[in-house]
Amino acid sequence: MADQVAASVDEASRVRRQYLESEQRFRALLESLPKVAVQGYDRHRRVIYWNEASTHLYGYTAEEVFGRALEELIIPDDMRDGLIAAHRAWIEEGQEIPAEELELRHRSGELVPVFSHHVMLNEHTDEPLMFCVDVDLSEQKQAHRELDFARRFDRLTQLPNREYFEEQLSAAVKDAQAQGMLLVLVYLDIDRFVEVNDTLGYQEGDRLLLQLATRLDQGLRCTDLMSRASGDEFLLAFSGIAGEEDIPRLVLKVQQVLRSPFALEEASRKLTACLGVSVFPTNGESAAELIRSADVAKNRAKLKGRGEVVYFDQRLHDELLYQHRLSDRLERAVEAGELMLHYQPQVSAASGRLENLEALLRWYPADGPPVSPTEFIPLAERSGLIHRIGDWVMEEACRQRAAWRKAGLEVGRIDINFSGSQMNSPDLFARLDECLERFALGPRDIGLELTENVLIDADQRVLEGLQRLYHRGFRIAIDDFGTGYSSLSYLKRFPVTALKIDRAFVRDAPTQPEDRAIMEATVFIGHRLGLEVVAEGVEDLEQLTLIREMRCDLVQGFYFFAPMAPGEIERLVIGMSATPSGLSS
Ligand code: C2E
Ligand code: CA
Ligand code: CA
Alpha helices in 269-313 (DSSP H): 287-304
Q: What residue type is 525 in one-letter code?
A: I
Q: What residue type is 64 in one-letter code?
A: E
Residue of 398, 381, 471 whose CA lies nearest to 440: 398
CB distance 522 to 481 below 8 Å: yes
Ligand 1 lined by 393 (C-beta under 6 Å): yes
- For 409, residues 6+ apart whose C-beta sits below 8 A from its C-beta are 570, 573, 574
Q: Which residue minimizes the CA distance to atom 4 of ligand 1?
A: 360
Does residue 446 sit in helix, strand or coil?
Answer: strand
How many angstroms separate the CA atoms of 88 and 66, rounded?
A: 20
Residue of 513, 544, 543, 547 whose CA lies nearest to 533: 547
Ligand 1 lined by 160 (C-beta under 6 Å): no
Residues whose Cβ atom is located within 5 A of ion ligand 2: 417, 449, 479
Q: Which residue minimizes the CA distance to atom 15 of ligand 1?
A: 557
Ligand 1 lined by 397 (C-beta under 6 Å): no
- For 433, residues 6+ apart whose C-beta sits below 8 A from its C-beta are none
Q: How far is the CA of 197 from the centre of ligand 3 (A)?
A: 26
Ligand 1 lined by 373 (C-beta under 6 Å): yes
Residue of 333, 439, 313 whose CA lies nearest to 377: 333
Q: How far is the CA of 501 from the centre of ligand 3 (A)?
A: 7
How many angstroms separate the CA atoms of 156 and 146, rounded?
A: 14
Ligand 1 lined by 543 (C-beta under 6 Å): no
Q: Which residue minimizes the CA distance to atom 46 of ligand 1?
A: 417
Q: What residue type is 370 in one-letter code?
A: P
How many angstroms separate the CA atoms of 120 and 123, rounded?
A: 6
Residue of 573, 581, 188, 159 whose CA lies nearest to 404: 573
Ligand 1 lined by 557 (C-beta under 6 Å): yes
Q: Which ligand is nearest to the CA of 454?
A: 1
HSE, side-chain direction, 13 A CA sphere, residue 177: 12
**Structural domains in the chain plus CATH codes:** 28-142 (3.30.450.20), 153-312 (3.30.70.270), 341-577 (3.20.20.450)
Q: How far is the CA of 380 from the centre of ligand 1 (A)?
A: 15
CB distance 418 to 390 below 8 Å: yes
- The predicted pLDDT at position 581 comes to 47
Q: CA angle, corner 117, sides to 111 and 119, nearest 5?
A: 130
341, 357, 360, 506: residue to mutate for ligand 1 pocket, most atoms within 8 A of CB: 360
Ligand 1 lined by 132 (C-beta under 6 Å): no
Q: Which ligand is nearest to the CA of 360?
A: 1
Entry pTM? 0.60
Q: How far is the CA of 489 from the centre of ligand 1 (A)?
A: 26
Ligand 1 lined by 417 (C-beta under 6 Å): yes
How many angstroms separate the CA atoms of 385 and 337, rounded?
A: 15
Ligand 1 lined by 394 (C-beta under 6 Å): no
How many angstroms separate the CA atoms of 88 and 94, rounded?
A: 9
CB distance 238 to 219 below 8 Å: no
For the chain, count helices (H), then strands (E). 23, 20
- The predicted pLDDT at position 584 comes to 39
What count of other Cβ atoms lies within 10 Å of the Cβ of residue 249?
Answer: 9
Per the omega criterion (within 30 degrees of 0), is the bond before 513 cis?
Answer: no
Q: Which residue minimizes the CA distance to atom 3 of ligand 1?
A: 480
Q: Phi and psi (nearest 5°) for 371?
A: -110, 135
Residuewise pLDDT in 10s, the chain (585 residues) = 566 666 777 777 877 777 776 666 666 666 767 778 999 999 999 999 999 999 999 999 999 999 999 999 999 999 999 999 999 999 888 888 988 899 999 999 999 999 999 988 887 788 899 999 998 888 888 888 888 888 899 999 999 999 999 999 999 999 999 999 999 999 999 998 988 888 888 899 999 999 999 999 998 888 899 999 988 999 999 999 998 888 988 898 999 999 889 988 878 888 999 999 999 998 999 999 999 999 999 998 998 889 999 999 877 778 777 888 888 899 999 999 999 999 999 999 999 999 999 999 999 999 889 999 999 998 898 888 999 999 999 999 999 999 999 999 999 999 999 998 898 888 999 999 999 999 999 999 999 999 888 888 888 899 999 999 999 999 999 998 887 665 666 777 889 999 999 999 999 999 998 889 889 988 988 998 899 999 999 999 999 999 999 999 999 999 999 999 999 999 999 988 775 544 433
344, 393, 417: residue to mutate for ligand 1 pocket, most atoms within 8 A of CB: 417
**Cα→Cα distances 42→77, 127, 132, 326, 474, Å:** 21, 7, 12, 80, 88
How many angstroms separate the CA atoms of 121 and 83, rounded?
A: 18
Label residue 174 exposed, middle or buried (CB < 10 Å: 0-12, 13-18, 19+).
exposed
Residue of 547, 544, 555, 443 whose CA lies nearest to 497: 443
Q: How far is the CA of 158 from the centre of ligand 2 (A)?
A: 42
Q: How far is the CA of 349 from the centre of ligand 2 (A)?
A: 18
Ligand 1 lined by 374 (C-beta under 6 Å): yes
Residues whose Cβ atom is located within 5 A of ion ligand 3: 479-480
Ligand 1 lined by 385 (C-beta under 6 Å): no
The separation between CA 65 and the C-alpha centre of its own chain, rounded to angstroms, equals 56
Ligand 1 lined by 482 (C-beta under 6 Å): no
Ligand 1 lined by 558 (C-beta under 6 Å): yes
The separation between CA 166 and the C-alpha centre of its own chain, rounded to angstroms, equals 15
How many angstroms separate the CA atoms of 195 and 192, rounded?
A: 6
Ligand 1 atom at minimal distance to the Cα of residue 372: 26
How many angstroms separate the CA atoms of 104 and 133, rounded?
A: 13
Ligand 1 lined by 502 (C-beta under 6 Å): no
Ligand 1 lined by 276 (C-beta under 6 Å): no
- Across 33-155, the runs of DSSP E, i.e. the strands, are 36-41, 47-50, 100-105, 111-121, 129-136
Does residue 112 sit in helix, strand or coil?
Answer: strand
Q: What share of the chain is helix, strand, coil (3-state, %, to 5)?
A: 50, 20, 30
Residue of 277, 300, 272 whose CA lies nearest to 290: 277
- For 136, residues 6+ apart whose C-beta sits below 8 A from its C-beta are 35, 37, 57, 112, 113, 114
Ligand 1 atom at minimal distance to the Cα of residue 451: 34
Q: How far is the CA of 556 from the centre of ligand 1 (A)?
A: 11
Ligand 1 lined by 278 (C-beta under 6 Å): no
Using the CB atoms, write b or e for 7-25: b if 16+ within 10 Å.
eeeeebeebbeebeeeeee
How many angstroms separate the CA atoms of 365 and 372, rounded?
A: 11
Q: How far is the CA of 390 from the centre of ligand 1 (A)?
A: 15
The separation between CA 245 and the C-alpha centre of its own chain, rounded to angstroms, equals 33
Ligand 1 lined by 395 (C-beta under 6 Å): no
Residue of 97, 106, 95, 103 whose CA lies nearest to 73: 106
Q: Which residue minimizes the CA distance to atom 42 of ligand 1?
A: 417
How many angstroms separate the CA atoms of 450 and 458, rounded?
A: 11
Residue of 253, 245, 249, 239 whose CA lies nearest to 188: 253
Q: CA angle, corner 392, sides to 387 and 398, nearest 5?
A: 125
Ligand 1 lined by 166 (C-beta under 6 Å): no
Ligand 1 atom at minimal distance to the Cα of residue 502: 3
